[in-house]
Protein backbone atom coordinates (compact mmCIF):
# COMPACT_ATOMS: atom_id res chain seq x y z
CA UNK A 1 0.00 0.00 0.00
CA UNK A 2 1.27 3.49 -0.73
CA UNK A 3 1.32 6.20 1.87
CA UNK A 4 1.42 9.97 1.63
CA UNK A 5 4.11 11.87 3.51
CA UNK A 6 2.81 14.75 5.62
CA UNK A 7 4.77 17.41 7.45
CA UNK A 8 3.50 18.69 10.78
CA UNK A 9 4.80 22.25 10.78
CA UNK A 10 5.51 24.76 13.52
CA UNK A 11 6.76 28.31 13.65
CA UNK A 12 10.38 28.55 14.74
CA UNK A 13 11.89 31.78 16.04
CA UNK A 14 15.03 32.59 14.08
CA UNK A 15 15.99 35.90 15.68
CA UNK A 16 14.82 38.71 17.90
CA UNK A 17 16.32 42.16 17.49
CA UNK A 18 14.69 45.02 19.36
CA UNK A 19 10.94 44.88 18.81
CA UNK A 20 11.26 42.65 15.73
CA UNK A 21 11.09 38.88 15.84
CA UNK A 22 11.65 36.73 12.76
CA UNK A 23 9.88 33.39 12.37
CA UNK A 24 10.14 30.63 9.79
CA UNK A 25 8.10 27.51 9.23
CA UNK A 26 9.89 24.46 10.58
CA UNK A 27 8.99 20.77 10.67
CA UNK A 28 7.93 19.32 13.98
CA UNK A 29 7.23 15.80 12.74
CA UNK A 30 6.91 13.71 9.59
CA UNK A 31 3.79 11.55 9.44
CA UNK A 32 2.32 8.97 7.06
CA UNK A 33 -1.31 8.86 5.97
CA UNK A 34 -3.39 6.70 3.70
CA UNK A 35 -4.79 8.46 0.62
CA UNK A 36 -8.40 9.63 0.82
CA UNK A 37 -10.66 7.11 -0.98
CA UNK A 38 -12.44 9.81 -2.98
CA UNK A 39 -9.23 11.66 -3.91
CA UNK A 40 -6.07 9.49 -3.95
CA UNK A 41 -3.78 12.53 -4.24
CA UNK A 42 -5.03 13.88 -0.91
CA UNK A 43 -4.53 12.39 2.55
CA UNK A 44 -7.32 10.93 4.61
CA UNK A 45 -8.53 12.76 7.73
CA UNK A 46 -5.95 11.25 10.11
CA UNK A 47 -2.38 10.00 9.96
CA UNK A 48 -1.45 6.43 10.81
CA UNK A 49 -0.82 7.55 14.40
CA UNK A 50 -4.27 9.17 14.62
CA UNK A 51 -3.27 12.84 14.32
CA UNK A 52 -5.59 15.04 12.25
CA UNK A 53 -4.18 15.97 8.83
CA UNK A 54 -6.05 19.27 8.36
CA UNK A 55 -3.12 21.55 9.21
CA UNK A 56 -0.36 19.37 7.77
CA UNK A 57 1.49 20.01 4.53
CA UNK A 58 1.95 17.26 1.98
CA UNK A 59 5.51 16.46 0.96
CA UNK A 60 5.86 15.22 -2.65
CA UNK A 61 8.44 12.57 -1.68
CA UNK A 62 7.91 9.06 -3.01
CA UNK A 63 10.24 6.24 -1.99
CA UNK A 64 12.42 5.45 -5.02
CA UNK A 65 12.52 1.73 -4.25
CA UNK A 66 11.43 -1.01 -1.89
CA UNK A 67 14.56 -0.62 0.26
CA UNK A 68 14.22 3.17 0.56
CA UNK A 69 12.58 4.77 3.61
CA UNK A 70 8.98 5.95 3.22
CA UNK A 71 10.00 9.45 4.41
CA UNK A 72 12.42 11.99 2.90
CA UNK A 73 15.92 11.21 4.24
CA UNK A 74 16.49 14.84 5.27
CA UNK A 75 13.68 14.49 7.84
CA UNK A 76 14.89 11.20 9.36
CA UNK A 77 15.26 12.75 12.82
CA UNK A 78 11.67 14.04 12.75
CA UNK A 79 9.83 10.85 11.79
CA UNK A 80 6.82 10.06 13.98
CA UNK A 81 7.68 6.73 15.65
CA UNK A 82 4.03 5.62 15.68
CA UNK A 83 3.55 6.27 11.95
CA UNK A 84 6.89 4.61 11.22
CA UNK A 85 5.86 1.51 13.15
CA UNK A 86 2.50 1.39 11.35
CA UNK A 87 4.11 1.70 7.92
CA UNK A 88 6.56 -1.10 8.70
CA UNK A 89 3.85 -3.42 10.09
DSSP string, 18-84: TTEEEEEEEEEEEEEEPEETTEEEEE-SB-TTS-B-TT-EEE----SSTTS-SS-GGGGGGB-HHHH
Counted residue by residue, the chain has a size of 89
Per the structure, the complete domain to which residue 59 belongs is given by 4-88
Please say if the pLDDT value at position 7 is more than 70.
yes
Total structural domains in the chain? 1
Q: Tell me the pTM.
A: 0.84
pLDDT tens, residue by residue, 47-88: 999 999 999 999 999 988 888 999 999 999 999 999 999 999
pLDDT at 71: 96
User: What's the chain's average pLDDT?
Assistant: 90
pLDDT at 66: 84
Phi, psi for residue 34 in degrees, rounded to 5: -75, 150
Amino acid sequence: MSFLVLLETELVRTSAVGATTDWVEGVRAVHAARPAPESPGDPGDVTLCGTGTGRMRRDPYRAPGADAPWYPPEWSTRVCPYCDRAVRA
